[in-house]
């Protein structure tokens, strides 16, 4: 359990070890909800870009002859 104090401007400070465990960085957006009298603060995770994910599958550039691949696919018919 981590204890934090509400300051005069109603701010709380999230301890560094909590930020590290949750992967929080400066500028991240947090969602606050109230449930059964409790304050719940959750990181609002960004929706990942599927194109960026696909581009990152291969770590190093590949030498591919796209024209040859297309021509070979015609031969498969």
Domain range summary for the chain, segments of one domain joined by +: 16-75
Residue 73: CA count within 13 A, CB half-sphere = 6
List the structure tokens of 21: 């465990």
List phi, psi (to 5°) of 31.
-100, 130
pLDDT at res. 53: 75
Per-position pLDDT tens, the chain of length 77: 889 999 999 999 999 999 999 889 998 999 999 999 999 999 987 767 778 777 778 777 778 888 888 888 887 65
pTM comes to 0.53
pLDDT at res. 7: 96
pLDDT at res. 35: 95
CATH topology of domain 16-75: Pemi-like Protein 1; Chain: D (2.10.260)
pLDDT at res. 12: 94
């Amino acid at each position: 359990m981590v204890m934090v104090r509400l300051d005069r401007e109603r701010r709380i400070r999230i301890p560094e070890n909590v930020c590290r465990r949750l992967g929080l960085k400066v500028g991240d957006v947090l969602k606050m909800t109230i449930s059964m009298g409790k304050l719940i603060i959750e990181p609002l995770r960004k929706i990942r870009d599927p194109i960026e994910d696909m581009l990152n599958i291969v770590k190093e550039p590949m030498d591919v002859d796209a024209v040859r691949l297309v021509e070979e696919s015609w031969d498969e018919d």
